[in-house]
Chain A
Amino acid sequence: MKLFNEPSPLETKIISFRFGLENSASIDTYLANDGYQALRKALAMTPDDIINEVKASNLRGRGGAGFPTGMKWSFVPRASEKPKYIVVNADESEPGTCKDRLLIQHDPHQLIEGCLLGALAVGAKKGWVYIRGEYNYLIHIMDKAIAEAYKHGYLGKNIGGTDFSFDLYTHTGAGAYECGEESALLESLEGKRGVPRIRPPFPAVSGAFQSPTLLNNVETFSSVPAILRMGGQAYADLGVPKSGGTRLVCMSGHVNKPGVYEVPLGFPMMKFINEVGGGVWKGRALKAVIPGGSSSPLLKSEECDIPMDYDSIAKAGSMLGSGGLMVMDETTDMVKVALRIMRFYQHESCGWCIPCREGTTWLKKMLQRVSDGHGQTRDIDLIGDLAQNMMGRTFCPLGDAAAMPTIAIVKKYRNEFEEYVARNPFAAPELVSIA
């Protein structure tokens, strides 16, 4: 398969090294390039050994929250009488994120092997890859890879001549960002509206069909074969303490060479933009970066001199999230960015809880008013207050995802909102307190 962007010599290719190989999605290419070696190893290991290896790797979830993967795997109650399931989150719809698509397009067998390793670790016999509806072509690629894996004995009964059996299926979504949230995804998998469930219980205990379920992002599962091949510690050493290994970072926006690149955790953000991405386009200066998908609070250019790992970005007040890094040059209109982000969350709010359903609707209206030139100074404060009041008060994290970037933009670029208000000929004078 053809690559969508040129690779960079600065990449460390651990899970993307098969991208661009001839017939990279086929089992023959996979087998000729370390494929199913980790499975062979794992079939001779105990579930605890597998989980310990994943724990040692310091792998953290690549879907958004960055939860330690080995720990999640150890939460699945193995003694449970119920069947256990594997669910792959391939709903990829956080704005700025386009990596899971490549992992399935170029290397579906790596994902299948990752699922098999998860299944061995938790004792699952069945699994689904939940793929967003817009990625229709990936369903064909994945189905074909699954059929090949059955034919070669890597799926189905008695895998590798052992008593381990595992079935894997694709499952299509139908257009809903909220179905990327794990509990909403499970509802959707069961044929219902994608409204989230109350948690706890977490999916590890009660997930798909009320059974213990190991649910991870595509990239998370796809990283495990390499971990078992090279050893958890060696994988961890690629990154920094508490953020092991490499990840695919999706660079978009105002750079010369946007693209998806695999770099070690802790790679310096400015080096990433300037050297991997060829710098800000048109010779302009950097204004801001959204580091991990549109729900991560944006960083001003002077805040971007940091390593890209979970903890460093959290310390800077944002999140590594889904790895969607959006670069904005000095000409970017932050009011328009805030409005576009809010339009998205308002559209995608599932409507179940009031702070999110009403909050996103009112925030959109107010941001639209400012952007249209009819804003008042008090609107700016109200936008900040309302977003602040949504934080932590919604049923699922989508409410926070909408509020966080809004709070950051209004706080960091208040002057731009004020300039919009100042251009409104009908702006009310500041209210004077008479108390």
Chain B
Amino acid sequence: MTFSPELEAKFADLITHYPEGRQRAALIPMLMFGQEEVGSITNEFMAEVARRLGLTPMQVDEVVGYYSMLHKKPMGKYHVQVCTNVACMLRGGAELYDQACHKLGLGHKEVSADGLVSLEEVECMGACSWAPAVQVNFDFHHEVTADQLDTILEGLKK
């Protein structure tokens, strides 16, 4: 399996961040950064990371299953995350999530047929004082109104 030179450089650098013999520590960062390029945590990707860190693919799989941001299935090009936890709920987060479901015709962790958009109801993402909050990929949107959500969703184009 081959990666871009940038990702290879990143992996090579990561390994140097941990004490001698503890290179396994690079596992989660490698999976997170790799996922951005590969698109999802595929079996091939897991096997490659396992080989490089001296782990079995099973040991990698076991870790992948624990973390909610590591996806075995590709999410959409735009992954829309709506927070419905308490601070957001108090200011309309649950209604925003419903609106997103209807507008996109998707449910929790579903991906549109063309692979463009996916939706996820998420837990608190650290924007409570500027609630309700939505994240598209890694971009935060604060104090989102119903109209703004429509605009955000309509802007998700190829």
- Which residues of A line the B interface, CB within 8 A? 4-5, 83, 92-98, 100-101, 126, 128, 132-137, 169, 171-177, 188-194, 209, 250-254, 258-260, 290, 294, 324, 326-328, 332, 336-337, 340-341, 344, 347-348, 350
Beyond A174-B69, A193-B66, whether A96 also contacts B123 by CB under 8 A is no
**Contact for B86 among A98, A126, A290, A347, CB less than 8 A:** A290
Residues of A within 8 A of B65 (CB): 193
Q: Once the chains bind, are A98 and B128 in contact (CB under 8 Å)?
A: yes
Chain B nearest Cβ from A104, distance in angstroms: 11
A175 CA to B71 CA in the complex, in Å?
11
Q: Once the chains bind, are A191 and B27 in contact (CB under 8 Å)?
A: yes
B104 contacts partner chain A, Cβ-Cβ < 8 Å: no
Q: Once the chains bind, are A348 and B124 in contact (CB under 8 Å)?
A: no
Residues of B within 8 A of A191 (CB): 24-28, 53, 63
Q: Once the chains bind, are B24 and A176 in contact (CB under 8 Å)?
A: no
B42 contacts partner chain A, Cβ-Cβ < 8 Å: no
B17 contacts partner chain A, Cβ-Cβ < 8 Å: yes
Q: Once the chains bind, are B123 and A348 in contact (CB under 8 Å)?
A: yes
Chain A nearest Cβ from B135, distance in angstroms: 7
Beyond A136-B138, A174-B28, A174-B31, whether A252 also contacts B87 by CB under 8 A is yes
Instruction: Using C-beta atoms within 8 Å of the partner chain, give the interface range for chain B.
Output: 35 or more
Chain B nearest Cβ from A401, distance in angstroms: 13
A341 CA to B88 CA in the complex, in Å?
12
Closest 3 pairs between A and B when the two form their complex, measured CB to CB: A175-B69, A191-B27, A174-B67
Chain A nearest Cβ from B60, distance in angstroms: 9
Q: Once the chains bind, are B125 and A188 in contact (CB under 8 Å)?
A: no
Beyond A4-B142, A190-B22, A191-B24, whether A97 also contacts B130 by CB under 8 A is no
Chain A nearest Cβ from B147, distance in angstroms: 19
Q: Once the chains bind, are A172 and B124 in contact (CB under 8 Å)?
A: no
Best-buried of B22, B63, B91, B126 by chain A (most CB within 10 Å): B126
A252 CA to B27 CA in the complex, in Å?
35
**Contact for A250 among B68, B69, B129, CB less than 8 A:** B129
Q: Mark B58-89, 1 if CB is under 8 A from A, else 0.
A: 00001101111110000000000000111101
Beyond A96-B87, A294-B85, whether A324 also contacts B128 by CB under 8 A is yes
A250 CA to B127 CA in the complex, in Å?
10
Residues of A within 8 A of B91 (CB): 252-254
Q: Once the chains bind, are B124 and A96 in contact (CB under 8 Å)?
A: yes
Residues of B within 8 A of A134 (CB): 69, 125-126, 135, 138
Residues of B within 8 A of A83 (CB): 19
Residues of A within 8 A of B62 (CB): 193
